[in-house]
Amino acid sequence: MGRKIIGVVGGLVAWIAVATILNGLMRWGLAGYAEAEKPMTFTLPMLAGRLAVGGLSSLAAGATLAWIAKSADAAATALGIVLLAVFLPVHYGLWDKFPVWYHVVFLVSLLPLALLGARLVAPRSLERSGG
């Protein structure tokens, strides 16, 4: 149980780290993104990039959880639920800044992508650990 809790925490840390790095790359590589970030006046390609960042971060969070917990079971579901609990109030506060489809895609993707990330790593982690 302790390993799974640490895995969830590790998954959250991984989500933040990956999102921070990828967002920095978007600021550097996507014309106009840095200027659009503060007023949140993103173009469609910028919104798609932000969704890709969120998706990759969720995959990395699930993978990190599975690597730490050595499983892809209920802990990955717990991670997805925690991510949803963290981001629901954030998106509620930003509701008027983005189109409805953006919020829906982001929020609906959190749990399945965290589960997928965990399932991609868990079998290999279990094989190496002898489990």
Query: Could you read off the pLDDT of 77-119 as tens digits, one per residue?
Result: 999 999 999 999 999 999 999 999 999 999 999 999 999 999 9
The more confidently predicted of residues 61 and 73 is 61
Give me the pLDDT at residue 124, please: 58
Tokens read off for 24: 């920095």
Does position 63 have pLDDT exceeding 70, yes or no?
yes
**Taking the CB of residue 125, how many other CB atoms lie within 10 A of it?**
18
- Cα distances from 80 to residues 57, 70, 94, 115, in angstroms, run 12, 17, 20, 7
Q: Are 17 and 10 in contact (CB under 8 A)?
A: no
| Mean pLDDT to the nearest integer, 47-60 | 98
Alpha carbon distance 12, 123 (integer Å): 21
Give me the pLDDT at residue 50, please: 98
Tokens read off for 112: 């399945």
Domain count, the chain: 1
pTM for the whole structure: 0.91
pLDDT tens track for 11-29: 999 999 999 999 999 999 9
Give me the pLDDT at residue 2, please: 87
Q: Are 65 and 118 in contact (CB under 8 A)?
A: yes
Residue 130 inside a domain? The answer is no
Alpha carbon distance 25, 21 (integer Å): 6
For residue 64, the enclosing domain spans 2-125
Q: Are 80 and 115 in contact (CB under 8 A)?
A: yes
Residue 131 inside a domain? The answer is no
